[in-house]
Chains A and B, each alone.
Chain A
């Protein structure tokens, strides 16, 4: 399990989720030798089992510039990873069920417009019904981002991995990082399966386990481990193209090309991260089902064949940690995406590679610095 026979990597990426794979790909594209250490297997947790929404819609304003830049990469995803990742762009819609909610979304668009962003628009009842004929009659309008869409998470993460490997990256799966230390300008990383690796630079993309990596370098973060729940139906005839959410309640609703309908939105089960396990809370699943009952009356008789939850990291301010460590040189963080990191995967990998190879990025990442949690 040692890498002694292989050349020493320039960068060790801890975590084989989408963000780790994306950083590995972007670094490999620049000729940097990368080793990815994944404790289970690639896409085992949030990256493999999330809802797959590729969404600019409704994001925290700090994330909007990154999200817009990432969207451009998504629209050319095949050029980036030689696979379309199942990405389809039929827009994302956030329905307003009341006039008050419609006011809220109008204010949101005004705020974005003032910042120079125009990807979100308010639509009225008539256009909502033409975009989503199955929507309940009481919905009065919606917020829409027409360039948004959805992709297949596991396939996407694997495509990033495959392309990174094709460009020379190495992946070591099945051993969690147990020790991280820096000596003489070199990081030393040890894994639970007896591996010991060295590199000048480390990227912490360890998702729901990233706080433990940060803690090793004296940088504790208030990371909360969460388990957003999803459920999926048996195949039904195609009836909806866009991804639909709600303004006043938690929902993510979309139909795959194969006919199955995915229902989620972030209602939480319980995560047991030391056992790689999640537990569902059916009182919350029931709340989610009730929302669909209200918004899509045609779905009432649909059969739910499975429900599940992934293990994710959430930060107190709901935005990620991106950028250099505050305590150690040559350590970069990329975690805490708070259940909406999938769409940001392509761009944050590039930002991390920019920081490592050029010392700077042209995107505004100051709001995501880890130092914001320092006492």
Chain B
């Protein structure tokens, strides 16, 4: 365990280098705090600005101006003096119950880098772990050839790869339209977009339209969606979906079957790209012990935070989509607010200075969140795609169906944690990231209670798998840790 004055001891660690993490690390370090920015990826940007420093897609109109904004966050980080350790997978964040020998309580961070593990100590952690795609459980979603639309966008950003062969996109939400638009710019083939946005969502969202009309991003989003609708085949009101493989339903994706107005249709497909919004990537916060709550509007769990992003665990704050979905611009401002509050808690700035400096960021955050309620309501996924039928796999790792979860409920399983014990549901390497929201909703629906009542998985470190060898060789001294970072 590193001690005070060690080079593996920092004032602040920021986990995740998307917009929230980049902005938080840059601001905190520019005010003189020692800051380490940790990220699993080898390049900064997070998922939204993935590969922004090195994407092979140099034609800027393909990925669009919102993507290239990410590059503007890198200069301030470079100039700030923050230490950036890419390729570092954080698998544990823990605040000990007792003070250290020097009377200070330091948060311990377990991370892996280049196949070796190490522990760092810090006084404050800002988790900027972002979002992940909401699970989209339909029959056949585990077949090779079925990917998340976000995954396809990563392939485009990092490698300039676009689908070839018969390609179907399905679902709802801004990212689906954005990706389709990017494919249009790149000249990629899309055979059809199956829009699963429920008809009644438009009615529910309408009262929120005035707010959305004030959003600075409205014009862009609408223009992009209209262009896609004009140039591509968009099939609306899709109420059921399944992906089919070869003869025995095995092998890889061959076709997509969808239901519209009560009638089934089949499309041949080599690639199916699914998307129905994003949810907070909360595994690390959850495993750290941060309290979380069910957000009925966004239909997801989110860690509980105050207006600065502070969680229920002292010294741990959250910024960006990991604390609730607000989008990239909101994340950036939330990162700055969390950094100011961390500086204040560390005694580097006074309360007044914190509040004064925060004013412009808070105003920008409010602007960025304008119209969000409209989008949340319009793009709330249909119940059929959140609470799937019995034959649909919900836990991809352990191959547990919705029917098996319902059967366990009938045997006395009252929530996701018992589902783990009954079924091994959520016990695979993904640690519930791909099934958690679904399992909560399936159990809630089966029991006839609210998702808030059934709760969520209690997640435990390591939040990302590590090898036994790494754990066994967990370095104890600075020299040992040095070796981890020498590569």
Touch A–B, Cβ below 8 Å: yes
Contacts from A to B (Cβ < 8 Å)? 41, 43, 48, 154-155, 158, 162, 231, 233-234, 258, 270, 272, 277, 279-280, 282-283, 285-286, 289-290, 292-293, 299-308
Could you pull out 20 A-B pairs where Cβ atoms are within 8 angstroms?
A41-B418, A48-B421, A154-B421, A233-B468, A234-B429, A279-B94, A280-B460, A282-B94, A282-B119, A282-B461, A282-B471, A286-B471, A289-B472, A293-B472, A300-B468, A300-B469, A303-B429, A303-B466, A304-B466, A305-B427
Bound together, the chains give a CA A272 to CA B95 distance in angstroms of 13
> Which of A233, A283, A301, A308 is within 8 Å of B460, CB to CB?
A308
Give chain A residues whose Cβ lies under 8 Å from the Cβ of B467: 300-304
- Tell whether B166 is near chain A: CB-to-CB under 8 Å: no
A94 to B264, CA, bound (A): 61
Does chain A have a CB within 8 A of B286?
Answer: no
Among B92, B97, B471: residue with most chain A CB under 10 A: B471
Residues on the B chain within 8 Å of A299, using CB: 468
Sample of 4 more A-B contacts, CB < 8 Å, known A41-B414, A293-B468, A300-B469:
A282-B92, A283-B474, A289-B472, A289-B474
Cross-interface CB contact of B465 among A155, A158, A283, A303, cutoff 8 Å: A303
B150 within 8 A of A: no
The B398-454 residues at the A interface (CB cut-off 8 A) are 412, 414, 418, 421-422, 424, 427-429, 431
The residue on A at minimum CB distance from B471 is A289
Task: For B462, give its contact among A277, A301, A302, A307 (CB under 8 Å).
Answer: A307
User: What residue in chain A is nearest B476 (Cβ atoms)?
Assistant: A283
Rounded to whole angstroms, the CA-CA distance of A300 and B468 in the bound complex is: 5
Residues of B within 8 A of A280 (CB): 92, 94, 460-461
B315 at interface by CB-CB < 8 Å:
no
Q: Tell me, yes or no, whether B1 is within 8 Å of chain A by CB.
A: yes
CA distance A301 to B472 in the complex (A): 11
Q: Does B277 contact A (CB under 8 A)?
A: no
Q: Which residue of A lies closest to B430 (CB)?
A: A305
Which residues of chain A have C-beta atoms less than 8 A from B418's C-beta?
A: 41
- Whether a CB of chain A sits under 8 angstroms from the CB of B289 is yes
Choose among B110, B427, B468 the residue that contacts A282 (Cβ–Cβ < 8 A): B110
Q: Is the CB of B431 within 8 A of A305?
A: yes
Quote the shortest CB–CB distance from B454 to chain A (angstroms): 12
Q: Please, which residue of chain A has its CB at the minimum distance from the CB of B474?
A: A286
State which of B422, B468, B476 has its C-beta within 8 Å of the C-beta of A304.
B468
Do residues A307 and B422 form an inter-chain contact, with CB atoms below 8 A? no
Partner of A289, one of B119, B428, B468, B476: B468
- For B424, list chain A residues within 8 Å (CB): 258
Residues of B within 8 A of A154 (CB): 421-422
- Enumerate chain B residues within 8 angstroms of A48, measured Cβ to Cβ: 421
Contact B289 A304 (CB under 8 A): no
Query: Could you say which residues of chain B place their CB within 8 Å of the CB of A286?
Result: 471-474
* Per-position binary interface string of chain B over residues 276-305, scored 1 when its CB falls under 8 Å from any chain A CB and 0 otherwise: 000000000000010000000000000000
User: Which chain A residue has the least Cβ–Cβ distance from B429?
Assistant: A305
User: A282-B474, A286-B471, A307-B462 in contact; A277/B289 too (CB < 8 A)?
Assistant: yes
Assess the A301–B469 pair: CB atoms within 8 A: yes
Given the contacts A154-B422, A279-B97, A307 and B460 also touching, CB distance less than 8 Å? yes
Contact B427 A306 (CB under 8 A): yes
Closest A residue to B464 by beta carbon equals A305
Contacts of A289 in B (CB 8 A): 468, 471-472, 474
Q: Inside 8 A of B466's CB, which chain A residues have their CB?
A: 303-304
- Ranked nearest first, the 6 interchain pairs of A and B with the lowest CB-CB distance are A154-B421, A289-B471, A289-B472, A286-B474, A293-B472, A303-B465
Alpha-carbon separation in the docked complex, A308 to B421 (Å): 13
Are B468 and A306 neighbours in the complex by a CB distance under 8 Å? Answer: no
Question: Do residues B462 and A304 form an inter-chain contact, with CB atoms below 8 A?
Answer: yes
A307/B461 in contact, CB under 8 A: yes
Closest to A280 in B: B461
Partner of A292, one of B96, B428, B460, B472: B472
B110 touches A306 (CB 8 A): no
A100 to chain B, nearest CB (A): 24
**Using Cβ atoms and an 8 Å threshold, which residues of chain B touch A305?**
427-429, 431, 462, 465
Select from chain A the residue with minimum beta-carbon distance to B96: A279
In the complex, are the beta carbons of B460 and A306 less than 8 A apart?
A: yes
A301, B468: Cβ atoms under 8 Å? yes
A304 surroundings in chain B (CB, below 8 A)? 462, 465-468, 471
Closest residue of chain A to B110 (Cβ to Cβ) is A282
Distance, CA A286 to CA B92, complexed state (A):
13
In the assembly, what is the distance between CA of A339 and CA of B96, in Å?
23
Which residues of A sit under 8 angstroms from B472, Cβ to Cβ?
286, 289-290, 292-293, 300
CB contacts (< 8 Å) of B468 on chain A: these are 233, 289, 292-293, 299-304
Binary contact readout B124-141 vs A (1 if CB under 8 angstroms, 0 otherwise):
000000000000000000
CA distance A173 to B1 in the complex (A): 41
Given A41-B418, A304-B468, A307-B461, decide whether A270 and B97 contact each other with a Cβ distance below 8 A: yes
CB distance from B105 to the nearest CB of A (A): 13
Q: Which of B344-384 contact A (CB under 8 A)?
A: none
**Assembly CA distance A301 to B467 (angstroms):** 6
Alpha-carbon distance between A286 and B465 when the two chains are bound, in angstroms: 14
Shortest CB–CB separation between residue B147 and chain A, in angstroms? 22
Which residues of A lie under 8 Å from residue B1 when comparing CB positions?
283
Contact call A43/B421, Cβ cutoff below 8 A: yes
A45 CB to nearest chain B CB (Å): 12
**How far apart are the CA atoms of A162 and B411 in the complex, in Å?**
9
| Cβ contacts under 8 Å, A283 to chain B | 1, 474, 476
CB–CB B97/A158 < 8 A: no
Min Cβ gap B316→A in Å is: 14
- With the chains together, A258 CA to B424 CA distance in Å? 10
Please give me the residue from chain B that is nearest to A173 by CB atom: B414
Smallest CB–CB gap between B344 and chain A, Å? Answer: 27
- Nearest chain B CB to A275 CB, angstrom units: 9
A133 shortest CB reach to chain B, Å: 19
**Complex Cα distance A282/B94, Å?**
10
Whether A306 contacts B289 by the Cβ 8 Å rule is no
Q: Which of chain A's residues have a CB closer than 8 A to the CB of B110? A: 282
Q: How far is the CA of A290 from the CA of B470 in the complex (A)?
A: 10
Residues in B neighbouring A231, C-beta threshold 8 A: 471
Q: Which residue of B is nearest A261, CB measured?
A: B468
State the Cβ distance, B93 to closest chain A Cβ, in Å: 11
Chain B stretch 103-149: residues in CB contact (< 8 A) with chain A: 108, 110, 119
Complex alpha-carbon distance, A154 and B422, angstroms: 8
A69 to B76, alpha carbons, bound, how many Å? Answer: 71
Pick the contact of A158: B412, B462, B473 (CB < 8 A): B412
Shortest Cβ distance from A173 into chain B, in angstroms?
9
Q: How far is the CA of A326 from the CA of B243 in the complex (A)?
A: 67
Q: Which residues of A contact B473 (CB under 8 A)?
A: 286, 290
Complexed CA–CA distance, A280 and B418 (Å): 21
Name the distance in Å between A270's Cβ and chain B's nearest Cβ. 6
Q: Decide yes or no: A285 and B471 within 8 Å by CB, A280-B460, A303-B466, A306-B462 being known contacts.
A: yes
Nearest chain B residue, comparing its CB with the CB of A302: B468
A306 touches B431 (CB 8 A): yes
